[in-house]
Amino acid sequence: MSDNKLVPQNQGTAPQTNQPAEPKSGFVRMFSEPLSKRGWPRWAVYLMGLIGGVYLLNPTLGLLELIPDNLPIVGNLDEGGAVMLLLAGIVEVLEGRKQRQASRAAQAADPSQPEE
């Protein structure tokens, strides 16, 4: 008998398909594409994410409370806005990095392409 070991193929990677990716809806694209792709400066998006994170981590002493939470429904809108800012910063860090690496790889493969 031979010592054939079973080794899983493509472990940890997605299977490669030749099918084009399904287009994302505008709502999904709004939350999954970095704002820098739409023309926002990266530093501004990072700053917005930082402000949103600080606002959410703020101990509620009323020092940074824009809308008092004791107002029904309206009182939590400022926290919702802070979550959106934080989400924009997180998407910029994660997805923006992927897109920059992909554009650098494309630039290295075809130097005649203009840099974005």
**Domain limits, the chain:** 30-104
Residue 49 has a pLDDT of 93
Residue 46 has a pLDDT of 92
Q: Are 69 and 75 in contact (CB under 8 A)?
A: yes
Residue 90 has a pLDDT of 92
Residue 100 has a pLDDT of 80
Q: Which parts of the chain have pLDDT scores under 50?
A: none
DSSP character for 74? G
Residue 17 has a pLDDT of 56
Residue 48 has a pLDDT of 93
CB atoms within 10 A of CB 89: 22
